[in-house]
């Protein structure tokens, strides 16, 4: 089954962008996944193809129209299209590695890239859009966020990364950040690779990596550390 991504955007020329390079690009060329960027403005209103209007109740900025966006969604999907419908949104649920894995195991996704002040709430509800955020900051639009989400999904598709083990111990999979990595030269600018990593003692190496992952998580992400302990209690 090919992972099929459809992106609704006012700037389809932004795609595939980085997704056309490196591992994602090779997988795209090989047909492991597909990407279609559709221009929302094709469904705009009037001669100027308007896609937005002033916010009800007043306020700064403009809001994407429900009728325009609904038409774009309907044209991109059919009655048998069971892919998740995602809206990249600063107020959305934070994207997690668990959600990425679930998406990567499915048929793909329809991703709506918002612009301006936001999207009319009625289309969010009427078309069952799942709002997703990639972080606590605001971007000019959803395109970069969509690229980040798709890159995270595509790298998990079978065959995209050579060794399955490469994704088995990554940050967030066990509510832990990933341990530090080292490679040659043995000593660089007076800094040596930790001795345990060159000992050949696999059990001690595993214990060291686990301890380092726990240390980093405690220091940098106390929220993940708390979640780790909650998992242990279950």
* CA–CA separation, 77 and 220 (whole Å): 41
pLDDT in tens, 18-46: 999 999 999 999 999 999 999 999 999 99
Res. 165: pLDDT tops 60: no
Res. 230: pLDDT tops 80: no
Domains and CATH numbers, the chain: 3-154 (3.40.1280.10), 171-233 (1.10.1270.20)
Report pLDDT for 208: 97
Whether this model's pTM surpasses 0.95: no
Q: Where are the beta strands (DSSP E) in the chain?
A: 3-9, 33-39, 52-53, 63-64, 85-94, 108-113, 118-119, 130-133, 187-188, 191-192
Residue 220 tokens, joined: 């940098």
């Amino acid at each position: 089954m090919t992972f099929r991504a459809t992106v609704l955007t006012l700037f389809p020329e932004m795609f595939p962008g980085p997704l056309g390079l490196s591992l994602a690009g090779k997988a795209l060329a090989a047909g492991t996944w597909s990407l279609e960027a559709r221009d929302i403005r094709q469904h705009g209103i009037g001669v100027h193809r308007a896609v937005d209007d002033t916010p009800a109740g007043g306020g700064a900025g403009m809001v994407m129209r429900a009728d325009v966006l609904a038409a774009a969604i309907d044209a991109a999907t059919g009655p048998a299209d069971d892919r998740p419908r995602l809206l990249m949104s600063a107020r959305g649920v934070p994207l997690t590695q668990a959600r990425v894995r679930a998406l990567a195991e499915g048929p793909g996704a329809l991703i709506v890239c918002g612009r301006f002040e936001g999207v009319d709430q009625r289309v969010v509800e009427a078309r069952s859009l799942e709002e997703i955020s990639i972080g606590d900051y605001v971007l000019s639009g959803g395109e970069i966020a969509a690229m980040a989400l798709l890159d995270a999904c595509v790298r998990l598709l079978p065959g995209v990364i050579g060794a399955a083990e490469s994704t088995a111990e990554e940050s967030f999979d066990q509510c832990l950040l990933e341990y530090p990595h080292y490679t040659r030269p043995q000593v660089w600018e007076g800094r040596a690779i930790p001795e345990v990593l060159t000992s050949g003692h696999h059990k001690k190496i595993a214990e060291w990596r686990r301890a380092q992952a726990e240390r980093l998580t405690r220091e940098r992400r106390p929220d993940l550390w708390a979640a780790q302990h909650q998992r242990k209690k279950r």
